[in-house]
Amino acid sequence: SADLKLLEEATISVCKSLVEKNPRTGNLGSLVKVFLSRTKELKISAECQNHLFIWQAHNALFIICCLLKVFISRMSEEELQLHFTYEEKA
């Protein structure tokens, strides 16, 4: 759709920067880990009608999806795996 094309065009520089820096920073893996750790709270938030938390979770998932689309279209499976196997240097 036209909206998706506009979104991709508006975020491509940020995504390219993340693709370049992520092997050193591990930001994408961290975002996914935080999202997964917070999913347990989603059911409780829905029951309590905590719309702010649900909105934050929705946005995090949307960002992850957009970034993964760029990552998948620009790199091989082996390169993609490296972005999720970041280990902090001691």
Q: DSSP for 20-63? A: HHHHHH-HHHHHHHHHHHHTHHHHHHHHTT-HHHHHHHHHHHHH
- Rounded mean pLDDT, 4-29: 85
- Flag whether 89 is in a domain: no
Residue 82 contacts residue 23 (beta carbons within 8 Å): yes
Indicate whether 86 pLDDT > 70: no
Residue 88 belongs to a domain: no
* Per-residue pLDDT tens digits for 29-78: 888 888 888 887 888 888 888 788 888 888 989 989 888 888 888 888 88
Into how many domains does the chain fold? 1
**For 84, which DSSP code?**
T
Q: Quote the domain boundaries for residue 46.
A: 2-83
- The answer to whether residue 90 is domain-embedded is no
